Chains A and B, each alone.
Chain A
Amino acid sequence: MIWQFDVVILTLVVISAIGAVTVKDLLGAVILFGAYSFMMCLLWAIMGAVDVAFTEASVGAGVSTVLFVAAVFRTTRRTRD
């Protein structure tokens, strides 16, 4: 495990997580959440849990992003809070 990678990815995880909850545009929040999942996937892969990383990439970054986009498409894109 290379600690520089760890620091970069963990910073990106925190940034995208904070971005996903604070951003006003819900579609942007979905994309940020997808980026968060993908960074988590990289973290799992770095720690040697390849199966978990695979699941995270397919479920977290892939299908759940699509489901969120579908939900945003059928509700509203702007949030009031």
Chain B
Amino acid sequence: MKKAGLVIVLFFGGLLVYGTLDFPDWGDPTSPASLHVSPRYIEKTLEETTVPNMVTAILADYRGFDTLFETVVIFSAGLACFFLLRTRRKAPGTRHYRHRPTGIVLHIEKGGRLPDDSTEFERIDSLWVPHDLIIKATCRLIIPFIQLFALYVIAHGHHSPGGGFQGGVIFGAAFILYAVTHDLREGLQRLGERTTYAMCSIGVFIYAGVGTLCLFFRKNFLDYSALAAVLGVDPATARSHGILMVEIGVGIAVMAVMFAIYCNLSSVGKQDEGL
């Protein structure tokens, strides 16, 4: 069976390679894509949208529908993780509390618990290892810069590589880093579960909302030049600002979805004990 599978894979792989032989060469200036589509964007993008980075302009403006539904795909990935993994908080089994001064660990069974605001005891995971001071301190130092960089990537997507997706992922990674180095409960205290899911949908809502706003000014869906009157700028600059609004929406949605998926995966949907 394994050999038959290998033969089939090799056959279709060879077919694919044979198919790619007919493609135009890499960077071929006479290929159909470089003859008609690309020159139009290369010549007109700066003039029409005042965005120097053509990739961002094409992604969020000319191909705005694509990106809208890419965001929806990410949103549904987060929802799918939620529906597959999230379980209702049943009566918890054993909880572990560590007495800070002595390091003695109490096992409290059958759902019993100590008050959460106890200063003597801290709740710990069942697979607890002592937290390394160096790792904690380094992450505390580094996380603000990661978040700042993420915001820069989102805001500077017009001029340099980057945009909502990348910035959102980096922002989510900062929260995930916090949850890994501390524990999941502390991470969830910073960014609660309800807030996370609200932000997932708010991000998509911002994107679709900016698109719908254009409809009210008698332009097409996602034609940001309609916002020129509201923003008080000329239509080309309005498109640039529209791209920024949309990217912010994408960033919020992606950030929240990444953190939501991580929380559900690492705690098997209990949002209690994590990695």
Contact = CB atoms under 8 A, between A and B. Distances in A.
A74 B265 CA distance: 8
Contact of A63 (B26, B169, B266): B169
B26 A73 contact: no
* B interface, over-half SS: helix
Contacts, number: 52
| Interface size class, chain B | 20 to 34
A51 B55 contact: yes
A66 B55 contact: no
Interface stretch (B31-39, B94-102, B157-165): B157-165
Interface in A13-35: none
Given A58-B169, A58-B173, A59-B169, A67 B262 contact: yes
Interface in B28-80: 55-56, 59
Interface string A40-51: 000000010011
Contact of A51 (B161, B170, B262, B275): B161
A53 B160 CA distance: 13
A42 B45 CA distance: 27
A70 B262 contact: yes
B58 to A, nearest CB: 10
Contact of A69 (B59, B261, B275): B275
Contacts of B169: 55, 58-59, 62-63
Interface in A52-72: 53-55, 58-59, 62-63, 66-67, 69-71
B166 A66 contact: no
Nearest to A48: B27
Given A58-B169, A63-B258, A70-B275, 20 more contacts: A47-B26, A50-B161, A51-B163, A54-B166, A55-B169, A58-B166, A58-B170, A59-B165, A59-B166, A62-B169, A62-B173, A63-B172, A66-B176, A66-B180, A66-B262, A67-B261, A67-B262, A70-B265, A71-B265, A73-B266
Interface of B: 26, 55-56, 59, 153, 161-163, 165-166, 169-170, 172-173, 176, 180, 258, 261-262, 265-266, 268, 274-275
